[in-house]
Amino acid sequence: MTDAAQQPAKETQKPQTFPAKAFAAQSATSRLAPHNIKRRSPRPQDVQLEILYCGVCHSDLHQTRNEWQHALPTVYPCVPGHEIVGRVVKVGSAVKKLKEGDIAAVGCLVDSCRKCAACLDGDEQYCENIATFTYNGEDKILGGVTYGGYSDSVVVDGDFVFRVPNGLDPAGAAPLLCAGITTYSPLRHWKIGKGQKVGIVGLGGLGHMGVKFAKALGAHVVLFTTSPKKTEDGIRLGASEVVVSKNEADMQKHAGSFDFILDAVSADHDVNAYLNLVKRNGTMVLVGAPEKPLPVGAFSLLLNRRRLAGSGIGGLRETQDLLDFCGEKGITADVEMIKIQQINEAYDRLLKSDVKYRFVIDMASLQ
């Protein structure tokens, strides 16, 4: 008999749980409403947060309504929310970077395999064994699915909890955990900086963060929008120029001149119109997620050896780097505060793009 065979079977006892208040969707057509859930008691490697604020992402709406059923089918009840900022109330003995009373954050992920090539490179968001999403992911500790930040409390492995710099407004910091990192990651990956001309397509929850970051990194920023009414806001947020994309003559003035374009539009649109503005060896990156495939003309890429790429959120190191960068530069999202009882109205307004530029829930309203 081998040594391994002589070893007793490893216990897989589940941790104890405690009750938490939340808001959940019970089906694809139901409105969000109060719902009680269970959170695990913190293990030595865990951190428990009292949730203070939770940003409202457009993906929350998609997920609760099961609009991504072919790729990410929703399991009900669904408690959304992956832009979480809270106060640390319990810290496991193995966690050294945080202490009780600290303001901390949780983003789109709460775990990953940490062994694959992506995880070892610091790209946990691309975990080859599928990272555990903050909500509607497989809960490998308690079973079932994970529940997100539309709640009064959350318990997360300490590696996936981030320090929020002192002085950074916690409500305005919440959207940094998704809208922020989604736009910051590609700007950092493609090394955007001084002397570069950067285009941002769309001025919404993602786009307004892209403008702020590109400006803070030293780039010359041009905002593209279909709405002339957004010109003033674009300049206020940091754009040096605003181009109304429906004006062909104004678009043509920028042909072949951009080092980098960040496309933050999730609606159907013509990506070739923007690809033609990219210079030789330049890059256009998609961070928006249109429902239908976008046609791409081969010559839009062949001419000038242009690149079309995509990017999604960021890994652990990069997300902490984002928060530290925002702390140094004083950058937060432009937010509209709501109570949790207003979440269904907020979803209706999201569909109309009626928010500047991100809803954030004051979770004290859940008490």
Whether 267 and 347 map to the same domain: the answer is no
Which residues, in sequence order, are CB contacts of 72 under 8 Å at separation 6+? 63, 136
Whether 31 and 174 map to the same domain: the answer is yes
Give me the CATH number covering residue 254: 3.40.50.720
Measure the CA–CA gap between 42 and 47, rounded to whole angstroms. 6
Rounded to two decimals, the pTM is 0.93
Whether 65 and 130 map to the same domain: the answer is yes
Q: Residue 274's pLDDT band (boundaries 50, 70, 90)?
A: very high
DSSP state of 115: -
Question: Residue 344 has which token pair?
Answer: 């269904």
**What are the tens digits of pLDDT across the range 188-242?**
999 999 999 999 999 999 999 999 999 999 999 999 999 999 999 999 999 999 9
Whether 143 and 236 map to the same domain: the answer is no
* Token pair 């710099």 in the structure block, residue: 165
Q: What is the pLDDT of residue 12?
A: 60
On the question of pLDDT at 289 being above 90, the answer is no
On the question of pLDDT at 3 being above 70, the answer is no
Structural domain includes residue 185: yes
On the question of pLDDT at 94 being above 90, the answer is yes
Whether 212 and 132 map to the same domain: the answer is no
Structural domain includes residue 71: yes
Measure the CA–CA gap between 347 and 58, rounded to whole angstroms. 8
Whether 259 and 332 map to the same domain: the answer is no
Structural domain includes residue 118: yes
Burial of 106 (0-12, 13-18, 19+ CB in 10 A): buried
Whether 248 and 206 map to the same domain: the answer is yes
Number of domains in the chain: 2
Domain range spanning residue 149?
14-178+314-366
**What are the tens digits of pLDDT across the range 305-338?**
999 999 999 999 999 999 999 999 999 999 999 9
Whether 221 and 239 map to the same domain: the answer is yes
Task: Quote the percentage of the chain above a pLDDT of 70.
Answer: 97
Domain ends where: 289, 310, 331? 310
Domain ends where: 273, 292, 310? 310
Whether 171 and 218 map to the same domain: the answer is no
Measure the CA–CA gap between 364 and 344, rounded to whole angstroms. 17
Structural domain includes residue 5: no
Whether 27 and 167 map to the same domain: the answer is yes
Structural domain includes residue 7: no
Whether 127 and 240 map to the same domain: the answer is no
Q: What is the pLDDT of residue 40?
A: 97
Structural domain includes residue 134: yes
Domain ends where: 310, 328, 350? 310
**What are the tens digits of pLDDT across the range 114-153?**
999 999 999 999 999 999 999 999 999 999 999 999 999 9
Give me the CATH number covering residue 358: 3.90.180.10
Q: Which of 4-13, 160-169, 251-260 has the lowest mean pLDDT?
A: 4-13
Structural domain includes residue 3: no
Whether 151 and 195 map to the same domain: the answer is no
Measure the CA–CA gap between 56 and 59, rounded to whole angstroms. 8
The SS3 call for residue 73 is coil
Average pLDDT taken over every residue of the chain = 94
Do 205 and 59 meet the contact criterion of CB atoms below 8 Å apart?
Answer: no
Structural domain includes residue 63: yes
